[in-house]
Structure 1
Amino acid sequence: MKKKIAIYGAGSLGTILGAYLAKAGLDVVLINHNKAHVDELRKNGARIIGTVNFSVPVQACTPQEMSEGYDVVFLMTKQLDNARVVATIKPFLSPEGIICTMQNGLPELSVSEVVGEDRTLGCAVGWGATLHGPGVSELTSEPDRLVFSLGCMDGRTDDSAIRDVKAILENMGPVEVDANFMGARWSKLLVNAAFSGMSAVTGLTFGGVADDKKARACAQNLMKETIDVAHAQGVKIEPIQGTDVVKIFNYRGWFKKKISFLLFPLAIKKHRSLKASMLQDLEKGKKCEVDAINGVVCAYGRKASVPTPYNDTVVSLLHAIEDGSAKIGLQNLSKFPSHN
């Protein structure tokens, strides 16, 4: 039976995913609060630019226009008020319907508390996008990097829900089902904490962060803090697309720290043009999800008594930018601890 699919929070990433699924002939609806975006999607379809270029007719609606019976809901909203959002979606699920969260950070816990662990899947997205206006989204990662890491909280790897979601996502790119999915979540978190955090603070793309030596040093320290916190929590961080980032970036002495610093531009080479979604939100005058990214590292760090001064600084700076007491820019680099 054909699955009824919804992408809830179809912004930059969700518009691209929806376009690929619609192009493959799947029954998918893109849901967004932005009526102008929804109207454009309905009128002219989803237009995808950047490293690929195509347009495709899509179904779209606002949350108020949702219908019942979704078999799979891909949750792609900012992780600002998950409990309320998931409670809103739950009545529209089919009896066996599931929510697959594609949000940043570690969102599975808040989703499962509303719909249950057996109806919660998580998916780490290995590519980036930028919304250019109603109906138009730019794919900023290379086409050979359209990968997904799929899993669940209890480590199961082969049931009907996982098979169904895997088959759906494979219409866009390769899907790896990971028994240690939470380890994969921490892999994505450490990249986001380092590069998204610094992109939002400075206004640079990921490539710009790697090119600026002061920003790169901050990103290096952000990544190291995240690795230390994960290890203190007993988490084994998974490789990213075959690369053991912990082996490369978990330095102990000055020599390995220097080597990891030099390798940073290479590590981000395929995603140089990516602009953090947190930065995109701040530029639009919106609140960003720093508490679900860098803030998660800080929170787990406090529990494990692991200091996180760089992540603390990112959280503080981005909240200051949100309330207007600070501005995005390179001047913020002076607010970080000295790079020792």
Structure 2
Amino acid sequence: MSESILVWGAGAIGGTFGAALVRAGRDVTFVDVVPEHVEAIRDPERGLRITGPVDPMVVKAPAFLPEGLKGTWKRIYLAVKAQHTEQACRALLPHLAEDGFVVSLQNGLCEKTIAEIVGPDRTIGAFINFGADWIGPGEVHFGNRAAVVTGEIDGRMTPRLNDVLEDLRTFEPDAIQTDDIWSYLWGKLAYGSLLFAQAVGNLGIADCLERPELLPLWRELAGEIVTVARAEGVEPRGFNGFDPNAFGKGGTEEAAKASVAAMVAFNRPNAKTHSGVWRDLAIRKRRTEVDMQLLPIVGVGRKHGLSCPTLERLIAMIHEIEQNRRDLSDNNLTELLKQ
């Protein structure tokens, strides 16, 4: 019999992934902090609805608020926003079996935080790029398929990694495993800087990236992160049109233009048109993950004597929008470029 699974965070990522496992007959329990969402998932008349063009479904499964959960699990998938990682890890720790592990289905370098709390030997990394949005209690919109990768944080290829890959392939058949998960995580951070930039305006991802006058901005943002990653001894990995080698030292304007065109082509058909960061600012009116994803890169860069001025300006601009001191506008990107 397959291992019972706990999905901690039943929003865009955890909800979509967990629903696919439930449909496949897996024993899945959800945890979330939104009471109405938990009630909807566990309601036999409602359940968790995955909407959108990719793989719509409705599933019913046990769901709890953190304070109502009982029992232990060997396999926990963590899918909370990056800024909630520490709090969630401390809450799930009593429910993690001694021989269990936590898999991060998050953006950023959350594996480092998880490892500090549950232990590096009980932490597994994952890189995700599929598009999904939490719409409301009991509903998640699945907008597009994309790259999914898992790997041990120390690079070992282990039997338990095969088990995680099997889970991930239940959701995404093309998921793979790697002996260098950090290369994918840093690659996503570089690509993610472009999504954070898209979020300060109103155009969708494809339309924003396609603005020819912003190519220098894309080169600066992604280039700063690629440079910091290499200083850390990590060679960022590409995916879904993003080519890290086109940015940073050695990257040419033509190579960057080709990579941007490939990213536009990948994103153009997707039902998810705007980044999750944009939804946080424009729709949900809440803090973004910028302080957990981009801000630490600035600090790591300083450690190596590297500055990230464009990244710092973007972070400051997002803070202004979060604090209602700046409106969303496509002109924000032009301003970033001119500074």
Tell whether the structures are fold-level matches, with TM greater than 0.5. yes
Opposite residue 247 of structure 1, the aligned amino acid is N
The structural deviation recorded for 1:51 is 2.6
Kindly report which structure 2 residues correspond to 1:218-237, keeping only aligned pairs within 5 A, or say none. 218-237=217-236
The structural deviation recorded for 1:247 is 3.0
Do residues 266 (structure 1) and 262 (structure 2) align?
yes
Q: How big is each residue's C-alpha offset from its partner over 1:75-110, in whole Å with a ceiling of 9 and x where there is no partner?
A: 111111433321111001122121111111111111
Q: Between 266-275 and 124-133, report the one with greater CA deviation.
A: 266-275
Are the aligned partners of 1:4 and 1:69 in contact in 2 as well (CA < 8 Å)?
no
Aligned to 1:63: 66
Aligned to 1:108: 111
CA distance, structure 1, for counterparts of residue 140 and residue 149 of structure 2: 22
The one of 48, 51, 61 equivalent to 1:49 is 51
Are the aligned partners of 1:50 and 1:140 in contact in 2 as well (CA < 8 Å)?
yes
Opposite residue 45 of structure 1, the aligned amino acid is G
Aligned to 2:293: 293
Aligned to 1:318: 318
The structural deviation recorded for 1:244 is 7.5
Opposite residue 99 of structure 2, the aligned amino acid is E
CA distance, structure 1, for counterparts of residue 212 and residue 257 of structure 2: 9
Q: Between 33-42 and 264-273, report the one with greater CA deviation.
A: 264-273
Counterpart of 1:166 in 2: which secondary structure?
helix
CA distance, structure 1, for counterparts of residue 337 and residue 307 of structure 2: 12
Counterpart of 1:47 in 2: which secondary structure?
strand
Q: How many pairs does the alignment contain?
A: 331
Opposite residue 58 of structure 1, the aligned amino acid is A
Cα distance change on mapping 1:157 and 1:133 into 2, 3 Å: same
Q: How big is each residue's C-alpha offset from its partner over 1:191-234, in whole Å with a ceiling of 9 and x where there is no partner?
A: 1112x211221133221221233445423321111111111221
CA distance, structure 2, for counterparts of residue 41 and residue 82 of structure 1: 22
Counterpart of 1:336 in 2: which secondary structure?
helix
CA distance, structure 1, for counterparts of residue 230 and residue 98 of structure 2: 38
What TM-score do the two structures reach when normalised by structure 1? 0.90
Are the aligned partners of 1:41 and 1:58 in contact in 2 as well (CA < 8 Å)?
yes
The structural deviation recorded for 1:262 is 4.7
CA distance, structure 2, for counterparts of residue 19 and residue 28 of structure 1: 9
Aligned to 1:212: 211
Structure 1 unaligned segments of length 5 or more: list them: none
CA distance, structure 1, for counterparts of residue 96 and residue 220 of structure 2: 42
CA distance, structure 1, for counterparts of residue 235 and residue 249 of structure 2: 16
Cα distance change on mapping 1:318 and 1:156 into 2, 3 Å: same
Do residues 124 (structure 1) and 127 (structure 2) align?
yes
The structural deviation recorded for 1:112 is 0.5
Aligned to 1:248: 246
CA distance, structure 2, for counterparts of residue 172 and residue 188 of structure 1: 20
Are the aligned partners of 1:199 and 1:209 in contact in 2 as well (CA < 8 Å)?
yes
The structural deviation recorded for 1:252 is 4.1
Cα distance change on mapping 1:216 and 1:138 into 2, 3 Å: farther
The structural deviation recorded for 1:251 is 6.1
CA distance, structure 2, for counterparts of residue 87 and residue 244 of structure 1: 35
CA distance, structure 1, for counterparts of residue 100 and residue 255 of structure 2: 47
Q: How big is each residue's C-alpha offset from its partner over 1:9-41, in whole Å with a ceiling of 9 and x where there is no partner?
A: 111111111110101011112221111112222
Cα distance change on mapping 1:112 and 1:202 into 2, 3 Å: same
Structure 2 unaligned segments of length 5 or more: list them: none
Opposite residue 270 of structure 1, the aligned amino acid is F
Opposite residue 196 of structure 2, the aligned amino acid is G
Aligned to 1:192: 192
Opposite residue 245 of structure 2, the aligned amino acid is K
Q: Between 54-63 and 170-179, report the one with greater CA deviation.
A: 54-63
The structural deviation recorded for 1:64 is 1.7
Opposite residue 305 of structure 1, the aligned amino acid is G
Kindly report which structure 2 residues correspond to 1:114-153, keeping only aligned pairs within 5 A, or say none. 114-142=117-145, 145=146, 147-153=147-153
Counterpart of 1:202 in 2: which secondary structure?
coil
Are the aligned partners of 2:214 and 2:337 in contact in 1 as well (CA < 8 Å)?
no
